[in-house]
Each structure stands twice: as C-alpha cells, then as structure tokens.
Amino acid sequence: MAEDCIFCRIAEGEIPSEIVYEDKDIIAFKDVSPQAPIHIVIIPRKHYTSILAIPAGDAIMGKIQTVISRLAIKFGVAEDGFRVVNNCGEAGGQTVPHVHFHFLAGRNMAWPPG
C-alpha cells in the first residue's frame, strides 16, 4: 500500500466508497464524480502507478477483464454496450496515480472522447 494514495486507502477501507465488486486482488467502486449513469472504477488492490508499471506477464490484466465481464452482467449492459477507459499519465488525463479502469455505461458514448 502507498500511504498517500487515495485508491490504496479506498482498497483498505480507510476511505469509504460504494463497492460493487471485490475479491482478493481487485476492488470496483462507484466513481465519486460519475460521468455516466453507471460509472465504476476498477483497481487492483496492489499499487501500480499506471498501466505501464504492471510487469509483463502479471495476471492482473486478465483478472480485470473478468471483472469487466461481471460488471457488464451485473449492471445489465452486456447487450446494450459500455465503455472501458484507462487514462495513463498527464496527457492521458490520469489524475490518480494508482492504475484504474473506468467502466462507463447507461448512455450512448461519443467518439472521439475529447
């Protein structure tokens, strides 16, 4: 755990959040500032600053993919569709330096996202 990391603190339960899924490796919770009717943040419990910090061959990406599928079913959007976003680094719009994936659904998404 990184002491000053807000997502590590959410994973530890030190900061309250509305958790929608958790297991020993991953936690998913509602975004505090939702950009869609359904906006979930998916994180590994382990602190990696960004997607670039995940070691090659680490199993976490496959586990995240499984959680994405579970969320699509849980929220009933597997058929309608949804969007998954990873912001990486400053130009990518990343504001919290603990790798995370946004799961967005419940409205039609524009492309390009801007």
Q: Give the interface with ligand 5GP as residue ranges (CB under 6 A).
A: 6, 15, 17, 29-33, 41, 87, 93-96
Nearer to ligand 5GP, 57 or 110 (CB): 110
Active site residue 39: no
> Cβ(5)–Cβ(43) under 8 Å?
no
Q: Is 43 helix (H, G, I), strand (E, B) or coil?
A: strand
Which listed option, Zn ion, ligand 5GP, none, makes contact with residue 5 (CB within 5 to 8 Å by class)? Zn ion
Instruction: Point out the catalytic residue in the list 39, 47, 98, 100.
Output: 100
- Distance between CA 93 and CA 17 in Å, rounded? 22
Q: Which does 27 bind (CB under 5 to 8 A by kind): Zn ion, ligand 5GP, none?
A: none
Measured between alpha carbons, how far is 65 from 34 in angstroms, rounded to an integer? 21
Taking CB under 5 A as the criterion, the residue among 98, 99, 103, 104 binding Zn ion is 98
The tokens describing 88, both together, are 């990486």
Distance (Å, whole) CA 106 – CA 89:
27
Instruction: Catalogue the active-site residues.
Output: 100
